[in-house]
Amino acid sequence: MTSIAKDPKSNGKTPNFLLINNFLDVYKLEPFKQGKYPRSISKNNNNTCPSWSIINTVIEMKKAAAAELVFIPAPGMGHLVSTVEMAKQLIGRDHRLSITVLIMKTPFDKLKVISTTQSLLLKAAEDRLKFVHLAQDDGAAVAELRSKSPSYFMWEFVNMNKQHVRDHVTKMMNSTGSSPLAGFVVDMFCTPMMEVAAEFGLPTYAFFTSSCAFLGFLLHLDTLTRDRNRDVTELKDSDAELEVPGFVNPVPAKALPAIVLHKEGGSSFMLDVAKRLRETKGIMVNTFEELESYAVKRLADDDMVPPIYTVGPVLYPVKDENEEEEEEVIQIMRWLDDQPPSSVVFLCFGSMGSFDGEQVGEIAHALEQSKHRFLWSVRQPPPKGKVAMPSEYQDLNQVLPEGFLERTAGIGKVIGWAPQVAVLSHKAVGGFVSHCGWNSTLESLWCGVPMATWPIYAEQQMNAFQLIRELGLAVDIKFDYRRDMRYDSTKPKLVTANVIENGIRKLMENGGKSHTEEIKQNVKEMSEKSKIAIKEGGSSYNSIQHFIEDVILNVHSP
């Protein structure tokens, strides 16, 4: 590359602007030209041209030529899928970056999950994106962990993998010809790995796979405990409401995640997560500014919060047309092909979502009474008290009401695992009864499919509240439903067929100036905004670029 010469007319003070533009074009640093400087660089007084110190910084950045990030996702498909897609976007945006994803395998992954994971990784792998399956500890140690409380299990499981991460990073740093390490990018449940990063003198960034509003809640939880000496677990089973930065409306206690109300370890676990998130170099959030403008602004205005990068929606892609599909997926899509546009209500409750037989019966009666076409994913719960993934029923008749499959054969289809993004993308689907996991929420909005909220576990109740009250993007079935046996042993109240049917009818009704029509219009507009956000010049596109710039500058800053 030809070096940049000073403009002779500038008296040695300012470089030739045309040459700067050419330089920045070559090195794909368009944001510099637009005046969008990384936070760590101050713009000079001349608003039309960068100073020599900035140009020299850029040159030094380029001299390094490359940098590598180490991603550590939490176990579980929802976390892994979005992490892999985020990594693909980053390396696709800047040729200087390479990424190694370190994968911790849990002892209770189902064969279907393992197969899907392997397929995902095989498709994503390339020269600058590598996947490393960390060694597993002996079965006895893991078995002992499984007998502990769920929060203890996750925390200790991540801690058990510290040495495996340490060993692999050491190998990476000693490898000849490898790129300099730029830092760790950890899931919120993997923040203990920050200690390993610090041992190597590396910064840690977070990739937050939930909403910006929930991030604001977690950080507020830390503030309430540290500065105001307030114990949030006292709100359990109360009708109280909590003022939370990132939410316009007070959040009812019944919408708070069971884990933060859990006195036996869950609450302290999340408090530690919040504390560590504050200590990161920056947080990428799988959302987009147009969706959560209020929450994003509240966090951006808080000096106690690290830089926030809204990088979403980061979604699991629909299968390539040339990719071979499994027979069960082919059958599902063929069935949808035979249905009228926007006529099918899709019921799916996530990779960990399942109901007992009594509740399944109520859903079946609701669907039959509603007369709406439906596609319903039914999963078998794990044995009581066991931390495990739901599984497939060998015979659906053992859980469904007698004769249900025969009576609804003309309007419905009951399945096990569902190819969710493909289904939501199909023109026949007009509504989504969802557990409101954040990945599912983003997928539904991207596809322009309105939701009926039926959260089950984790932060899903807060997501449902946000969708209904804050954003006007969903109708409600039971936003405060909770079936999280890991942190709340209380048997959930049965949601009756009448309540479910009413929610489905509201979701699927058409015409007029009803509240549902307003929601459908809101969803349609948000779908369009989600697509604009990731295009060149969009809010998330620019935010990803800012993240890349900050990573590179942090690597090569003194």
Question: Where are the domains positioned within the chain?
Answer: 65-316+535-556, 327-532
The CATH homologous superfamily of the domain defined by 327-532: Glycogen Phosphorylase B; (3.40.50.2000)
Q: Is there a shared CATH topology between the 65-316+535-556 domain and the 327-532 domain? A: yes
Q: What pTM, to 2 d.p., does this model score?
A: 0.85
Longest dimension (CA), the chain: 89
Structure letter (DSSP) for residue 470 = I
Interacting residues of 457 by C-beta distance below 8 A, sequence separation 6+ = 258, 352, 353, 435, 482, 483, 484, 486
How far is it, in rounded angstroms, from Cα 509 to Cα 506? 5
**Beta bridge pairs of residue 91:** none
Residue 542, token pair as written in the block: 């620019």
Q: How far is CA 522 from the centre of its chain?
A: 22
Pairing of strands 181-187, 67-72: parallel
User: Could you tell me the pLDDT band of residue 366, with boundaries at 50, 70 and 90?
Assistant: very high
What is the pLDDT at residue 470? Answer: 97
Exposure on the CB side of residue 425, measured as CA atoms within 13 A = 12
The fold of 65-316+535-556 is: Rossmann fold (3.40.50)
Residues 491-548 have pLDDT tens digits of 889 999 999 999 999 999 876 667 889 999 999 999 999 999 999 999 999 999 999 9
How far is it, in rounded angstroms, from Cα 199 to Cα 383? 41
How far is it, in rounded angstroms, from Cα 474 to Cα 372? 18
Q: What is the mean pLDDT of the chain?
A: 84
Nearest to 244 by CA among 271, 267, 273, 224: 224
Residues 206-259 have pLDDT tens digits of 999 999 999 999 999 999 988 778 888 888 889 999 999 999 999 999 999 988
What is the pLDDT at residue 52? Answer: 60
How far is it, in rounded angstroms, from Cα 251 to Cα 235? 12
Fill in the amino acid letter for 444.
S
DSSP H or E run through 55: helix 52-64
Burial zone of 418 (CB within 10 Å; 0-12 exposed, 13-18 middle, 19+ buried): buried
Average pLDDT over residues 63-76: 81
How far is it, in rounded angstroms, from Cα 149 to Cα 152? 5
Residue the block writes with tokens 């039959």: 368
Pairing of strands 251-252, 241-242: antiparallel
